[in-house]
Amino acid sequence: MTAPNLVLPAPAKLNLFLHIVGQRDDGYHNLETLFQFLDYGDSLSFWYTQTGTISLEPNLPGVAQEDNLIVKAATALLPFRSSLTAGVHIELNKYLPMGGGLGGGSSDAATVLLALNELWQLKLSHQQLADIGLALGADVPIFVHGYAALARGVGEQLVPMTPAEAWYLVVHPGVAISTAEIFGHPNLPRNTKPLASNHVVWSDCHNDCEQLVESLYPQVAQARLWLLEYAPSRMTGTGACLFAAFASKATAERALAKLPSKFSGFVAQGKNISPAHQALNAQLAN
């Protein structure tokens, strides 16, 4: 096969905190959360085709092609093509765990939207792509816009932020957690007082999902207790991954070297501009 037209990362995200400030009549929750990207994630390769169709390799275990967010994102852009023969073949290198709270599926979808906007010359704005992405998942818009942000609403109301680009140790406890399960649980706190302003110290905040998840999945509690030996730790999103900030890459890697074998993990740096946007701009400049 010829070289791909584009190769782009689909970076992980962290929710540096996650407050649930209410539940809406439609069942969705109003959130306040601080998103930051990581320089670690999946990778997607794109080949422009003239088949008029979308193909993806490999299949994800347990996920039907039509349910895959990559295919859904590409399909959502089909009506915007100027040529019905424009198609794409996509290959996914999957590194982020499913059900880990790192936004892997949403990030994959956003990278597809950004890539096909260029490959198919759709000329859609980031806001238009984000609106399309919101129908795929609440976290897709943050990846489309590509900047660290304080998010409100269901995650679509974004205020740009610049938290310190720390080095993080991210630990996966070995369980997959359904976001729908956690947000639908009757014991989830839903009444945290909204922030008084956008000036927030994220380490002074918390994750409203953490206590519930740890009660349902003891492995998450065990992993966080281990990580607490090295630095203040917190769960990202609805779990299952935990993270802790370190002063340097070396100190994070020293902790990672002591990670119990029943867990997995990686070290990555926080990024306030999405690596997907940086890579896309670099490839378009060449």
In tens, the pLDDT along 70-104 reads 999 999 999 999 999 999 999 999 999 999 999 99
DSSP 65: G
Backbone angles phi and psi of 66, in degrees to 5: -70, -15
What letter represents residue 86's amino acid?
Answer: A
CA distances from 64 to 45, 58, 209 (A): 20, 11, 28
At residue 211, does pLDDT exceed 80?
Answer: yes
Check 42, 72, 108, 139 and give the catalytic one: 139
Please state, for a pLDDT cut of 90, what percent of the chain lies above it.
Answer: 90
Looking at the DSSP bridge assignments, the partners of residue 23 are: 29
Q: Which two tokens stand for residue 87?
A: 């198609």
Query: Is the pLDDT confidence value at 27 over 90?
Result: no
pLDDT of residue 247: 93
- Whole-number pLDDT of residue 21: 95
User: With 80 as the cut, is the pLDDT of residue 152 above it?
Assistant: yes
Report pLDDT for 57.
95
* Rounded distance between C-alpha atoms, residue 98 and residue 120, angstroms: 29
Question: Which pLDDT does position 109 carry in this prediction?
Answer: 98
- The confidence score (pLDDT) of residue 24 equals 86
* Helix, coil or strand: residue 198: coil
- In this prediction, residues 136-162 reach a mean pLDDT of 94
What's the whole-number average pLDDT of the chain?
95
Q: What is the pLDDT of residues 242-268, one digit of tens each?
A: 999 999 999 999 999 999 999 999 999
- CA 78 to CA 84: how far, in whole Å? 8
Give the tens place of pLDDT for each residue, 169-198. 999 999 999 999 999 999 999 999 999 999
Q: Is there a contact between 76 and 132 (Cβ–Cβ < 8 Å)?
A: yes
Examine the residue annotation and report whether 13 is marked as an active-site residue of this protein. yes
Please give the average per-residue pLDDT across 147-173, as a whole number. Answer: 95
Q: What percent of the chain has pLDDT over 70?
A: 100
Tokens of 6: 């584009």
What pLDDT is recorded for position 119?
97
With 90 as the cut, is the pLDDT of residue 59 above it? no
List CB contacts of 242: < 8 A, sequence separation 6 or more: 170, 171, 173, 220, 223, 224, 227, 233, 234, 235, 236
Q: Catalytic: which of 13, 42, 72, 208?
A: 13
Half-sphere exposure of 112 (CA within 13 A, CB side): 30
Residue 192: the pLDDT is: 96
Whether the per-residue pLDDT at 1 is higher than 80: the answer is no
Question: Is the pLDDT at 224 greater than 80, yes or no?
Answer: yes
* 1-286 belongs to CATH 3.30.230.10: yes
pLDDT of the residue at 84: 95
pLDDT at 65: 83
Q: Is 249 a catalytic residue?
A: no
